[in-house]
Amino acid sequence: MTYFLIEHNRRSGASRVTSFEDREASLRELNLRETVRDKDTDVVLLIAESEANIRITHPRYFSSEETLLNEAESIAARADAAKGLRRLVELDEKP
């Protein structure tokens, strides 16, 4: 497994990812947390098999705010459509 240290600026959407093969990552995370003064910056340490995996499981660190809002709206629209289909099925099944 690989350690991924992410420094993510929520305002700009920019992320910097540094990978480590050992526990040095946790020391770097602590140091970075102590030095980052911007309240809009997240410092996160993740463990995964690959960076591709964390890009899938933690997309907020790799997408802009606008992209995330668009994805959320799309998910909400699909959920509403699914509710509508369930209602139609329920009505169809009633005698």
pLDDT digits (tens, 9 = 90+) for 28-84: 898 898 999 899 999 999 999 999 999 889 988 887 655 666 777 788 888 888 888
Give the sign of the dihedral formed by CA 62, CA 64, CA 67, CA 68.
positive
Paired residues of 9 in beta bridges: 41
Q: How confident is the model at residue 87 (pLDDT cuts 50, 70, 90)?
A: confident
pLDDT at 47 (0 to 100): 94
- What is the pLDDT, as a whole number, of residue 58? 93
pLDDT score, position 25: 87
Give how far the C-alpha of residue 56 lies from the chain's centroid of Cα atoms, to the nearest Å.
Answer: 7
The pTM of this model reads 0.63
State the pLDDT at residue 66: 57
